[in-house]
Structures are given as C-alpha cells and as structure tokens.
Amino acid sequence: MSARATDHGLDDLAAAARAALVREIDASGAWDADPVWREAFESVPRHLFVPYYYVGAPGGYERRWGEDPSARRREEWLRGAYADAPLATRVRDGELVSSSSQPSLMAKMLVELGVRDGAAVLEIGAGTGYNAALLSHRLGGELVTTVDLDPEITESARRHLAVAGYRPAVVTGDGACGCPERAPFDRVIATCTLSSIPRSWLAQCRPGARILAPFATGLVVLRVRDPGHAEGRFLHTAAYFVPLRGGSRSGRDDLDTPPAGLPRRARGHELFRFLLTLTAGSLTPDAALALWEREDCPSRERYGITVADGNAWAWLDDPEGPYTWPLP
C-alpha cells in the first residue's frame, strides 16, 4: 500500500473490508466443497492488485486510485477494491481490455479447478495478478504460471505480485499457445472467454488434468485424457469475461446478442443467449429457438464440449447424441 494510504490509517480499513468480503463469499457457498480457499482470500490483499480501477461514469469511465489527493476518495477506492464485484482495471480507447473478476466467482472457479497440493497450474490471462497470488498462496509460486499477451499487463501483474510477496512465473506470450517451457500442467484455468479450445493446452497437460475456461457465457470443465482428447460439461454458473486475445480468436465475440424478430421471452432469456453463442455458425437463430423450446429451456449443465481426433464439438446431453455442433 502507498505511504499516503498508510498515513491515513487505511490498513485497518483494508483488513476489515477483506474480512467482510470473506464473510460475503462464505454466505454465497462458493467454497463449501474446498474451504481451504477461504484462508487464501483472507490472506491475499486484493487492494495491492488494483492500485487503480475504473467505474462507469457519464460518457465513459471514472478512475479511482489509492493515491488520490482526497482522503474520502481514497477510502472509496479501498472499499471498492473489496466489493464482491468485477473491477475494470485497463481501458483503451473506451474499450475494456483487462479486469479483476468478481471474487466470489473467482472462488467458485478455483474450487471447481480441483487443485491438490503439488499440482502445477497454468493460468491464461494474468490480469492484475490477484488470481495468480491466490493460487501461489495455496500451492507455492514455483507451481504457478500465468500468461498474458500484453507486456504492460504482465509487467504490472509481476509488480503487484512482488509487492504482495508472491513469485509465480509471469510470462508474456499468446495464451492460446500455452507455455510449453513450463509444462506439463495438472490444471489450466482461463480468466478470459474462449471461442475455441486450444489444442496446445491439451498437449501440455498430464493425463487426467483439468481445464476450466469461460466459453459462450458459461464455464466449461474439461478432463484431459491425452494430448488429443478432452471432454466435459458446463457448470450452471453464468460467466462474462474479456475475450482471449491471440491465436484462438475466431470472430465469435458478442454473438450472444439475440437478433431482432425473435419472441421477447427468448430474446430476454439468459440461457437462450448462451445457446445462441454456443451454436453460432451451426444453428440459425430460428433453429436455436426451436431447439430451446423443444428441450424446455435446457440449463447449462446439460451442455458439454468434446475434443477428439482433431475435431471439437459442443453437445446437448450426450456427446454422441442428436444435438451436436462443430466448434472452431
């Protein structure tokens, strides 16, 4: 924390705000299946990873930062840093390019990742470094690798991690290519939305590894069988992340917006938008609507993804069933 913040007694406020955040995540049940993560969130100071962030304001974004001359605004910055909400951390030409995810969603994703002591983890999307710090606290920095395409993001993440006392490997590179020099991995977690499943990730995983990634406004968990095969289902949780930048982009961004002309009940339904994004390029909106109504608005857990023999496809209920759609 900055000298200015310390001089004004914000350390105590930070500790109290962090404890309140942990209680809020407790109440959400996010880490019921693996409460060891509670200690990581209690210990890692999120405000060190967001020395500034942006909030919506008329005409764009307003910057909040820990070095603001106003004591009141510095306190607003600190309280906001411990809100259970995503924080916009990097904006270019009015476009959000990096953020710190909602802590309760981060907790759920880390639990679903299913790490165990000694597991080597690859994170795609370094962001602020906060998620890598949580992983490092649990596993040790030597087992954590975080990759981002943007050298400004990796440099700031590396700096935040050092200030907080963590030393994972922070690599500048195309996340779609993984990080072969640090492989093999037992777990891969992406903090950016995918439009395809990078085959390089499978090749860099040990058999039995788990991949957790945002895909089509949801979160898919894949079990890796070998370098050519992985399969798994979506969680029930909705998830909206900044798209992966780099080699795996295929122009599917924002395809979850339903076109005009569809019934209002479908256009306004979050699960229908999920289906539209998942099947983009394979189903017309009218065909997606017919399927959605015929199957009684299927929940995310009924969908899955398979990667096998050089192909990848999404499916409903059964990877070999009647409802399958090719992926890039």
Instruction: Check if 70 is active-site.
Output: no
Give the three-state DSSP class for 293: helix
Sign of CA dihedral 198, 303, 127, 37: negative
Measured CA to CA, the distance from residue 206 to residue 193 in angstroms comes to 23
Q: In 194-251, which ranges are continuous DSSP H helix?
A: 199-203
Catalytic residue among 28, 43, 98, 136: 98
Measured CA to CA, the distance from residue 197 to residue 305 in angstroms comes to 9
Task: Find the largest Cα–Cα distance for the chain.
Answer: 65
Measured CA to CA, the distance from residue 267 to residue 324 in angstroms comes to 22
Contact 53, 64 (CB under 8 A): yes
Measured CA to CA, the distance from residue 56 to residue 100 in angstroms comes to 15
Token digits of residue 29 = 């049940």
Residue with tokens 């395409």: 149
Residues 6+ apart with CB under 8 A from 32: none
Residue with tokens 């079990």: 223
- Give the count of beta carbons closer than 10 Å to the beta carbon of residue 290: 12
Where are the strands (E) in 182-308, listed by range?
Answer: 185-190, 205-215, 218-226, 229-233, 303-308
Q: Could you give the residue numbers annotated as active site?
A: 98
